[in-house]
Amino acid sequence: MKVKLVILLVWAFVSFPVFSQKQVTKIREHLLMDFDWRFALGNASDYTKDFGTSTSYFTYFAKTGYGDGAAASSFNDSTWRKVDLPHDWAVELPFSGSASHSHGYKTIGWQYPETSVGWYRKKFTIQTSDLGRKISIQFDGIHRNSTVWINGFYVGHEQSGYASSVYDITDYLNYGAENTVAVRVDTSVEEGWYYEGAGIYRHVWLNKTDRLHVAQYGTFVTSEIDGDKAELTVRSKVENQYAQSKNFTIEQILLDANNEQVISQKLENVSLNGNRKNSYFQKIKLDKPTLWSIENPYLYKLRTSIIADGQTVDTYTTIVGIRTVRFDPNLGFFLNGKNVKILGTNDHQDHAGVGTAIPDALQEFRAKRLKEMGSNAIRTSHNPPTPELLDACDRLGMLVLDENRLMGINKEHFDLLERFMIRDRNHPSVILWSLGNEEWAIESNEKGARITKTMQEFAQKIDSTRAFTVAISGGWDNGSGKTAQVMGYNYIVQGDIDEHHKKFPWQCGIGTEESNAIGTRGVYVDDKANGWMAATNRMPENVGTESGWKFYAARPFLSGLFFWTGFDYRGEPNPLAWPAVNSQFGIIDLCGFPKDIFYYLKSWWGKEPVMHIMPHWNWKGSEGKKIKVTIYSNAEEVELLLNKKSLGKMTMEKNGHLEWNVIYKPGTLVAKGFTNGKLTTSEKVETTDEPSKVKLSSDRLELNADGEDVAVVTVQINDKKNRFVPTANDEVTFTLNGPGKIIGVGNGDPASHEPEQFSDTVQWKRKIFNGLAQIIIKTKKQAGEITLTATSEGKIPATLIINSKTAITRPTTENITK
């Protein structure tokens, strides 16, 4: 079977309650609500310690608007802590050896009722002039089991920590006055089997529209390409929430990357009865469009306007990448008709210092680090991601395998699947949907085959332009493996992929997970008592990064693979246990510092010359002993020299590496790479002196003073000759001056139990781990110089200046006046 681009047209006709307010002609507003929240821990088992919520004579279940305790508008939250979103309270908690292994030994979950419920409250103003508009509150992600009240009115509940939720709050609001939103979050029950964080860890928005408007996520743009021409099909779902019928025009304006108009089109004389919604379709033809690709991720904007009675009453903007995708059972994946091997990694959604509360700029930092390795794809393991990750992938040209959280065919499962797909389907980076991952109870039996088929058929009605996969860890010839459009192979050791392909010749294939070398950055000798491992292939049959990549590279019918994982993540420190608290499966550590294996993949996935030597050359006490030296390079030949003496030249096998056994002597180890007989690249490692000075560097030295932007600062220990000391483990303290704040610190140590966040009254500090640490700085809304000073006992301190420049801030609820 070839999975091709197909356009599916859907017609929706659903009734709504009747409203009688007069029309208001304000344009749509999408207001950020991330600032100035109040936060406090509640209690999962004692209602009296949970601020007495739901203990009144009448509860919010008994009487509308009777939210009590912390859900009530009148509740006094003045003693609660002030926080900005995104926020993850789990990262602030201490570790314990008796806590959940899978979730990184943080003191949260059913064993810890006093730290497993969090409350958030925020006050905001709604203008009198907003009366008559439709107003909703949008949560991009709350982990987990969240309940929301507005002015004491219960507005909704969401079990999943990965779903985006939108609640209509129009009739609960105080117009021309103050309003209160309260959110209770309960993390007692784990949803995943890895660190998940806790709290409102994604953005919150206030949406205001006219009652005649484009629905939330209401556009869907698909493209067909024929030579140098393209035809866009634009689906616009319009809601008329007036009581009476409305006549209007739908105008589509396509803008290029410079915001210049490319083409416009109108659908006129449209009529929609009151309290109805409908989908409308328009075709837009383009000559010589610029296509979205990995190399040139070109983005257009589509501005959809609703015009009624001569006035524009609503405008909705959609990011558009013009491209086609298809999977072929014999030839793999095609983007814009070009065969592309998918070079991907699996990634969870936490980072050093901030947990799951990842600022937008940090999402881009992480995606760029993977792209630097030569990777072109991310699998969002094992849940729908934050929209800002997809935005970054759209801009950077990273492909995305977008994954659903849980398989099933009941109303709740379908609702979560539909909301997730409708939210994400306009992202050009999304090239494949995953319906689920390693559902062991069903993946290898007939129930799995049936559930996969039913989910696939349901999902195709939402998006027929992309294919669907399921990540399966065994029993490939049975269960879900019989019915998935694209077979998702989890680990080549789990079955015979070649044999499965022969049995199911119609089925496309992709490696949804494959083994990476497990290990701790900068560690070359196992020290399991301290939670550290030397990098090695620890899967059965010694399968690791190199053998996995060679397997997939040799089979054109396999579209590509996703290694487990791109980044280390909290939790699942397998095969170790306490004191290890983080996984070590990553090609990159939790901070984003590359491990050695990063350079193996960069050699064979990237296009630039690469030379990397492992290990370092600081082995005091090992003089005269053999040290295994590994070279990762894409040079045809490599010569290794110790203290200017050649140790020989070897030929590099394609997709391979080289090894020497070298008698250790302090000094300089140099690797030279030759292609076509010419020196193309070289690298050296040296025996350094003792740690002498601190060095600071940042991914960016100019930030936006918008209260959201961040700089990712590397803290490094050097010797007196400014050489990196890879064995340094000194403690460093930090002082920040100017319009910024530190929001997290880390060092990539998978067994560190140090705090990653400190209160404003406590000195920020962190131990260096194998020469490196990281500090994340966030701007405030004032421009100026941010000065970071790092000191360490007995060493020369370092200072870094970051310019926070005046910037246009996103519209927020703080800007509203009565």
Which residues are known to be catalytic? 438, 513
With CA atoms as reference, report the closest residue to 217 among 181, 161, 266, 165: 165
With CA atoms as reference, report the closest residue to 414 among 384, 382, 456, 445: 456
- Please state, in angstroms and as integers, the Cα–Cα distance from residue 190 to each residue in 43, 110, 143, 255, following that order: 16, 9, 10, 44
Long-range CB pairs of 679-687 (<8 Å, 24+ gap) are: 680/609, 680/635, 681/609, 681/610, 681/611, 681/633, 681/635, 682/611, 683/611, 683/612, 683/613, 684/613, 685/613, 685/616, 685/617, 686/617, 686/723, 687/617, 687/618, 687/619
- How far apart are alpha carbons 188 and 592 in whole angstroms? 30
**417 contacts 384 by C-beta, under 8 angstroms:** no
Helix (H, G, I), strand (E, B) or coil at 731: strand
Rg (CA), the chain: 28
Tokens of 1: 């079977």
With CA atoms as reference, report the closest residue to 33 among 818, 807, 814, 619: 814
Residue 419 DSSP one-character state: H
- How many other CB atoms are there within 10 angstroms of residue 356's CB atom? 25
**349 contacts 202 by C-beta, under 8 angstroms:** no
DSSP labels, 655-699: T--EEEEEE--SSEEEEEEEETTEEEEEEEEE---S--EEEEEES
**719 contacts 688 by C-beta, under 8 angstroms:** yes
**Torsion over CA: 587, 592, 593, 598 (sign):** positive
Which amino acid, 406?
L
- How far apart are alpha carbons 640 and 673 in whole angstroms? 9
**374 contacts 606 by C-beta, under 8 angstroms:** yes
3-state helix, strand, coil in the chain (%, to 5): 15, 40, 45
- How far apart are alpha carbons 65 and 171 in whole angstroms? 11
With CA atoms as reference, report the closest residue to 775 among 700, 665, 720, 696: 696
Question: Which residues are within 8 A (CB) of 108 and not within 5 positions of it... i.e. 6 or more apart?
Answer: 90, 93, 99, 100, 115, 116, 187, 198
- Please state, in angstroms and as integers, the Cα–Cα distance from residue 159 to each residue in 145, 148, 303, following that order: 4, 12, 34
Tokens of 145: 């089991």
**350 contacts 385 by C-beta, under 8 angstroms:** no
